[in-house]
Structure 1
Amino acid sequence: MQTDLAPVRSKPHTVAEPVPPPRPGCAQRAAVSVEPSVTKELSDLSRDLIAVRDLRDREAFGRLFDYFAPRLKAQLLRSGLRDGSAEDVVQDVMLAVWHKAAQFDPHRADAAGWIYGIARNRRIDLARRKPLSQPEEMPELPSVEPDAGQVLALQQEAEHLAAALARLTPEQAEALRAAYFDEIPHSRISEMTGLPLGTIKSRIRLGLDRLRHELRSIAP
């Protein structure tokens, strides 16, 4: 007996894109749609990233997460990010890996280079969004202008010094002015005057001793 069987058509259905778990366990690596000659040259990380790209393989993503998350965090901490900020950037980077895996091209970069490139861009974006620190207000500095008493004291000291120099021999006074007021080296004074260096040093030493004595006698 013949029975006419109508063809059975399955109802179309859609499957929501899975959201990757934070740290899935390891499983057998899924097959990827890459030419065999190219597949042999790929690293395991690149194979996993292609599985995420082509098959939305959550197990492969978990292996990528377990490998890259601690390394990215350590790199970000070394760059100066605090612990909480570094973890936020790592989560952001790995979510970008899941959502942008379709952009991965193993002919242009391996998995490590591609993922670290995303991390570098996230780090730059974070630095650009960080508000510039406002300069601290400079404390008001005390006035450096001398008061009337200081001015008077300076004038008196200058007068005492001039009077003491006037009591020295001309040779001693000239040597002191050259060495201390004009800041000329002793050897240069010797060349300028044609006198031996020992004579110049002796005049300066004797002049200083006499100057101290005269200042003590002049000062009130």
Structure 2
Amino acid sequence: MNDVDRNTIESECPALIRAVASERSVEAFETLFRYYGPRVRTYMLRQVRDAQAAEELMQETMITVWNKAALFDPARGNVSAWIFRIARNLRIDAHRKNKRPEFDFNDPAFVKDDAPAADLQLEEIQDAERLHRALAQLPQEQLDLLKRSFFDEVSHSAIAQQLGLPVGTVKSRIRLAFAKLRAALESRT
């Protein structure tokens, strides 16, 4: 293409952009595409040094020109500057996207452990052993009341009826059992 043809197309570009924006003129866009497509591809090739990426970025640039033609403002600059600003911004976005690592849901740092840590498991085992030893030291009647109340989930009034005891007696024996358990567990920590 010689300089005369280039000057003619560049002088027609604002009208071509208006036709794309207002009429969605495929012919006007095709003229813009044939003129700017190779130039944008060459620019992208110099920037990214990858022919396939340059082609994709050129296509994306020209699609953006098609979609955003109504946003072109001739008072702010010429068509060429507008198109190359779009190309530059798309190249920067692509570069940022490529530098950002993909989020891997299977990365061990993000996957919840199936089992608790070994030190927590050991603590839980030791706590359970201390509790069993403390329960073994309780008188049988207090142990029976705790089992019925907490393991069998029987209410205090139901326990009192089953054993023929006043509810206050059941509650005080359970409270006494808790006090003995607390003292036994606190002395061993």
What range is the shorter-chain TM-score in?
0.3 to 0.5
**Structure ranking higher in helix proportion:** 2
